[in-house]
Chains A and B, each alone.
Chain A
Amino acid sequence: MADPAGAARMYALLAWTWIRAAAQYPVSLAMLTAGTAVVTGLDVAAIALMFTRAPRIAGFDVAEALFLYGTATLSFGIADLVLGSTERLGEHVRRGTLDAMLVRPVSPLIQVATEEYSPRRVGKLVPAVTVLALALPRLDTTWTPGRVAMVPAMVAAGAFIFGGLWVLAGAVQFVLLESRGATKALTYGGGFLTQYPMSMFARDLVRGVTFVVPLAFVNWQPALYVLDRPDPLGLPGAARFASPAVAALVCAVAAVAWRAGLRHYRSTGS
């Protein structure tokens, strides 16, 4: 996007418009909000339970494991908050309704992402924030300024990596109309994978999510730095600081793929 401020303004404008549109149905809005609150409450309760019961996972104690879980879910939640509804792109492509978005002077990415925007999306961040709030003070690490700064940096970089993957998944849907399941596996699967210590998984899988789909940079690599742990794969120490660069790379690839996808959009015959 050539003009990030303009894009953000358009995003806010469209999101706000959808929120107001939803307010026309106050009953269903209230019910959905109540539903979200209940689900979120259960999530938080389950997490609290984990703090009392969970054993060590793959060499990580409870606080460390939940730190990984919290950073991953927060990054994923932020990306989902901003770009989650891009998974509907395939639907618009199939039905040809993307045409109407393409004749407006706003990126169709923003239009799809804000579609049916609801403040309830923010609710999904509550469990993640709760976990982090509980885990951070319990971590057994020396809090140097670098480590303190790394926590928000890794959450932000992780959000950009997931965001890039959402856009990439959207771009694929321009060409492969029935790819919603596959792309969902990439985004949600990635969200799931990063919730656990990578040392739990087979080495080949960890190599894959380090070098192919760079999910290891969402939280695993920077967490090794925060938690002062050796890398099971033996990567150089610089890898722990590579997340912002990886995020930039993923976003660049996503932007190129998105443009290519738009060029291949073929609309529908009627």
Chain B
Amino acid sequence: MGDAVIEAAALTKTFTRAGGVLRRRARTAVTAVDAVSFTVRRGEFVGYLGPNGAGKSTTIKMLTGILAASSGSLTVCGLDPSRRRTALARRIGVVFGQRTTLWWDLPLRDSLTLVRRLYRVEAAAHRTRLAELTALLELEPFLATPVRQLSLGQRMRGDLAAALLHDPELLVLDEPTIGLDVVSKATVREFLARINAERGTTILLTTHDLGDIERLCRRVMIIDHGRLAYDGGLGELRRTVGADRVLVVELDRPAPPIALDGIEAERADGPRQWLRLPPAANAAAVIAALAARYDVRDIALRETGIEDVLASLYRGDRAYGRPAPGGQRSSAE
């Protein structure tokens, strides 16, 4: 497996919450990451999702060597992160949406120059790279501004530039679009998609933003209560959790619930009724049958959005189904 950038096997992190030095018995253990195993290959773009407190940030801190794992094995760029943290730092870029890694009092340009020297990037390579990043992230207007005075969106773009100046193999981002407006989000997404496609930079990102997921992540991993609950394509996720299609039927007048070849209306509101289609159902045939038997004024077919899928998964309304290798379920289409 020469092209694995991240290899995690039974990766576990347990935090003990001490009740104070003298109250040893009050200790409790929280397993933030529980035997998580996955592999990320070169060039992949992976979304690492999960509800609040699921263990995403904790995983990222282990990947970057900030936290030592409690057990399990972890290799990032061929290195053990907690033992070879400094060596690893030269090969990866890290961005925390919540917290800057730039120097608060330095103008952005000086921060970036300092990054160059810390990472020992050659001056010529740095110039080209900086020009490129400045253009892509539109940094020019605030290069001379101290980081402390930057707006959140500007700072985020500065952080991204700083994380990529040394041309890392792997970019790890913890909620990079948190708090950004739609335009800044679009800039950041566009940028991430580009460096992944053009430079082949492997990217792992956590986010609660559905736009990020739909726009960027071909593969998603969902962690819940510290356990890896799903790992696969975004499309398969929709299918495996039975991301249903719903027909919204508008009748001429209020009527008793529709019943049609085993499909029943699950909700009615005046003349409007909602029919949930089984995965195997042929929507066209159902619509034709409906039109033949009822006075239908209008029909709309709605796919369940990724938002609904995640919400019901996080709430525990539905079980995560792991996509079988090779995607057996595609025959159901």
Chain A residues with a Cβ under 8 A of chain B: 10, 13-14, 17, 20-22, 24, 96-97, 99-100, 102-107, 176, 263, 265-267, 269-270
What 5 A-B pairs are tightest by C-beta distance, nearest first? A105-B89, A100-B101, A103-B94, A21-B105, A102-B66
Min Cβ gap B290→A in Å is 50
Task: Decide: A99 near B118, CB < 8 A? Known: A104-B89, A106-B86, A263-B68.
Answer: no
The majority secondary structure among interface residues of chain A is loop
B114 close to A105 (CB less than 8 A): no
Q: Do A21 and B106 form a contact, CB below 8 Å, given A97-B99, A103-B94, A105-B119?
A: yes
Q: Is the CB of A266 within 8 A of B15?
A: yes
Q: Would you call B110 and A20 a contact (CB within 8 A)?
A: yes
Task: Identify the B interface with A (CB < 8 A).
Answer: 15, 21, 57, 61, 64-68, 82, 85-87, 89-90, 92, 94, 96, 98-101, 103, 105-106, 110, 114, 117-119, 146
A99 CB contact (under 8 Å) in B21, B82, B99, B119: B99
How many angstroms from the CA of A104 to the CA of B90 in the assembled complex? 8
Give A20 to B111 CA distance when docked, in angstroms.
12
Task: Kindly list 9 other residue pairs between chains A and B, CB separation below 8 angstroms, not including A104-B118, A105-B90.
Answer: A17-B106, A21-B103, A97-B99, A99-B99, A100-B99, A105-B119, A106-B118, A265-B66, A269-B57
A17 to B101, CA, bound (A): 15
Chain A residues whose C-beta falls within 8 Å of the C-beta of B57 in the assembled complex: 269-270
B117 with A13: CB separation less than 8 A: yes
* Shortest Cβ gap from A11 to chain B (Å): 12
Contacts of B85 in A (CB 8 A): 102
Q: Closest Cβ of chain B: how far from A247's Cβ, in Å?
A: 25
Are A104 and B66 in contact, CB atoms less than 8 angstroms apart? no
The distance from the CB of B165 to the nearest CB of chain A, in whole angstroms, is: 12
Q: Are B86's CB and A105's CB within 8 A?
A: yes
A21 to B105, CA, bound (A): 6
B86 contacts which chain A residues (CB < 8 A)?
A: 105-107
B171 to chain A, nearest CB (A): 12
